[in-house]
Amino acid sequence: MTRKKKERKGYESCSGCGVCLLSCPVWYRTKTMSFTRKARAKAIQGGATYEEIAFSIDSCLLCGACGTACPEGIGLADLNIHQRQELNRLRTESPPWYPGETREPPDSGRNPKAKSLLLAGELLGENKDVCATVIGLLGGADRTALALDDGRDIARFMEAGLPLGPERAERFIASLRPVCTLIVAEGLLHRPLRKWLPAKKILGLGESLLSSGPLRSHLGPEDLYIIESRGYHADHERLVLFYDRLRRETGCQTNLDLQRTAFSTGASSLQGRKDMAAAGCIENAKYILKGRRVKRVVVEDLADAEAFRLATDVPVVHLGLIGSKTREL
Amino acid sequence: MKIPLTENNSDKKTSGQPDSLWSAVGDQTNPSRWDGVQWPSFVKYLGNRGIAVHEGRSDSSVFISDAGGLAHGLPHGVVRPFSSEAVSEVLKAAQAYAVPVTTRGGGLTTEGESIAFGGLLLDMSSMNRVLEIDPAGMTVRTEAGIYWHQLAETLRRDGLDYLSAPLNLTSSVGGTLGVGGIDINSPRLGCSADQCLALKVVTPTGEILECSERENADLMERVLLGYGQFGVITEATLKIRTFSPIVMKYFYYSSLRTAIEDLQLIAREDAADYSGILTIMDRAINLLVAFDTGEREREFHLRWRKQLRGHGEANFGLRAAGYYFPRPWKFQEASYLLGRRLTLFPEFTRPEYMHNNTIIDRTVVFSRAVWKFWGGSKMVIPDLAASQEKFIEAVERGNEVCRKYFRHYTLYCVGIKLSNRRERYEMSCIPPDARDIAFGCEFEPMLRDTNYSRDYLQSFKNEIYDIGVDMGLSYYRFGGMMKGYIRKVFGDVLVDKHLAMKRKADPAMILNRDVIF
């Protein structure tokens, strides 16, 4: 017998237990093992090339649940993006849902001075009404300013595994340095922001809005609360306790499964934004609703609102609007 | 359609070949890869009937091994059925073309039983719908490829739960019913197969049959604990119950014998809703008991607690310190025990799975811990199943073998209440001389950081299984690579009886042919 060196926890460490697929919305919908994280690991262990498993790499919605579920502690969230990067190097044609040419936001100067900065992302950033309400709930513009550069293009390129110019990332990071707290609606940015700015407090929209009492009082047992999965899984150890407390205190139902991973509709993925039905987001929303008795769906992520609106007649409302009866989405 | 004549070579008795029941004990009976001459015609035939056979490497490589990680084989192709009718078409064609078919659910076998060494692999995980929940009758009808965890996810939304299932998230219902299925409530409720009320089965010749105690009862008895030999389970009706979190209590022992005696007392007297033994070698022996209700817990404390000889954790810790302090040469062992205590135990009390000191999702908690602390790319888990009377000796002898081969290992012991359905227990993990209750012990070495040779691991398994032959016991995992033991432990008369039944039910010997026969 020989002692084995401690290896990096990559796909080669996958023992094939399959726990990751139990939280995978793609597997639930397709019922096809070859679309799963486990299958990709096993295929590569067995000598398959990235091109041979391109369909599987492309099918991933990057919700991050598999990484949280993995008992081996394999960094699956980063690995999924890494595989997309490797695949991009090999292929000439990209899937139709890939972002087009880089459209960096113009340098619009320095962010307004405030304690916190809201990085609204694409959907919330474009919905001025909801965005203004959210900023109001976060203490108003004096306390929480809207970031002029919210890194939405960075998130899109990261998700597609496309290369990003170093100047672009540097400019983005520099714009965030003056503030203490970043409230980031786009969950995919949580992980890199923690790496780039380790001293900053990075919060999701749900956590920042629900940390004060008033909004919590509007949640009850007949609400189905949809946690934004990417941000949640990026800081799971901490947030699982936050949302567990929320569930106990308000009685609301959530999209957490028995493993306490957030089952995702995938609506905020690139595939979902291109074609929600084809990406399976509506089916995933229906699965989350199945067997539940709910009178309202409350979403953290505006992309989820659309998926649930197409999946159910139950009113769907953004977390920022739950205090207002007339402001269903 | 002209069906080509093919030679049925399943009667060969050469060591190492399929149907190699005569192989020498000690051999690893990995079957040779099926040659596949008739494969293209078979695929074409199924394609014409609307059944897609996936032949790409990306489709088959996920099935290259099982949880054991010691056997490796690839199918020629994979079918993901979505109905019993599709399974029926596959099996009819497989009979005609003599193509071996391997069924796979969660792939949690450890001896290669769910690996296809050529031929077709039926990936049953595609049949995972919950068909009907009957809260009044407390039953659920489900497709059998579903994992117990998926079933729990669905049932939980109605405040319901299954009765008993393996403590593993990715065990499938069909696979479990085919081998038994042991939970820590099995001393009280029996194995998972005994919770089954009805089945839909596709026979090896492609007939679709409903079976229950009243309808096709013989087939039901053959299929439950039948190791996939007599049909593919496509649907199952199972008993369910109201969900309840559990209160778990731990008692610590330094003697295996004493701990097992107490486990047997608990099982015999129905003193707890759940019970089992989990050890760190034979140094820290943990008897766990759990309760569904406060009332049961109170009754336990009133009537039975004083009879148990186990200690609380603090008391046991002091005793262990007293033992190791004057024995500095055992520092490494003490350090391992302490490290295991510090890393493993918090997993059982993670706050997200606890509420008011109760464990909310016991299967999630245990399964995650199992994979995190015992899992790995290779796992060997030989086991012994014994009657109450023989169990202690069996475990003690198995423990000596573990000590001889490995520095670190775990024993997991649990009771299994027996039902009156004796027929299904024949040639199964239930030992023939067990009455009312049987006990099983898994012997699991910690392989994580060390590459042992396959021969070394096989020798270890053989020594454990030789105890079974010597004492007239049975095993949970006697198929696949360990099938050389089948005749030794069950005897020619019984095996020939089952082989004759198999040949009658499966003329071309195509279904899971390398598992038992």
DSSP string, B273-322: SEEEEEEETTTEEEEEEEESSHHHHHHHHHHTGGG---B-HHHHHHHHHH
Average pLDDT (A196-215) is 93
Site from B61, B365, B453 to mutate, A interface, most A CB atoms within 10 angstroms? B61
Residue B203's pLDDT band, with cuts at 50, 70 and 90, is very high
Among A164, A156, A161, A183, CA closest to A273: A156
DSSP string, B328-348: GGGHHHHHHHHHHHHHHGGGG
Interface pTM, i.e. ipTM? 0.91
pTM of this structure: 0.92
Average pLDDT (A178-197) is 95
Among B81, B69, B68, CA closest to B120: B81
DSSP 8-state class, residue B32? P
Site from A2, A29, A31 to mutate, B interface, most B CB atoms within 10 angstroms? A31
> What average pLDDT is seen over chain A?
90
Distance CA B505, CA B271 (A): 43
Residue B15 reports pLDDT greater than 80: no
Determine the pLDDT at residue A329.
Answer: 54
Determine the pLDDT at residue B20.
Answer: 39
Domain range A209-321, CATH class = alpha beta
Our CA-based measurement puts residue A313 at a distance from the nearest CA of chain B, in whole angstroms, of: 20
Q: Give residues 21 to 50 of A whose Cβ lies within 8 Å of B.
A: 21-22, 31-34, 36, 38-39, 42-43, 45-48
Q: Are B444 and B409 in contact (CB under 8 A)?
A: yes
Q: Give residues 263 to 292 of A whose Cβ lies within 8 Å of B.
A: 290-292
Backbone dihedral angles phi then psi of residue A184, each to the nearest 5 degrees? -115, 110
Interface size A-B, in CB pairs within 8 Å, comes to 123
Domain extents for chain A? 11-90, 116-203, 209-321
> What count of Cα atoms within 13 Å lies in the side-chain half-sphere of residue B355?
12
Among B105, B112, B162, CA closest to B128: B105
Q: In chain B, which residues fall in CATH 3.40.462?
A: 247-482
Please write the tens of the pLDDT for every residue from A226-258.
999 999 999 999 999 999 999 999 999 999 999
Give the SS3 label for residue B407. Answer: coil
Determine the pLDDT at residue B12.
Answer: 43
Q: In chain B, which residues fall in CATH 3.30.465.10?
A: 130-242
Distance CA B9, CA B7 (A): 6
Please write the tens of the pLDDT for every residue from B265-288.
999 999 999 999 999 999 999 999
Please name every residue paired with A226 in a beta bridge, in sequence order, or none if there are none: A299
Distance CA A181, CA A46 (A): 45
Our CA-based measurement puts residue A328 at a distance from the nearest CA of chain B, in whole angstroms, of: 26
Residue B384 reports pLDDT greater than 90: yes
Pick the CATH number of B247-482 from 3.40.462, 3.30.310, 3.30.70, 3.40.50: 3.40.462
Give the SS3 label for residue A233. Answer: helix
Distance CA B502, CA B49 (A): 27
More confident residue, B58 or A202: A202
Residue A109 reports pLDDT greater than 90: no
Q: Are A140 and A82 in contact (CB under 8 A)?
A: no
A40 Cβ neighbours under 8 A, 6+ residues apart: A11, A53, A56, A57, A83
What CATH number has the domain spanning B130-242? 3.30.465.10
Determine the pLDDT at residue A106.
Answer: 65
Average pLDDT (B448-453) is 82
Distance CA A131, CA B23 (A): 73
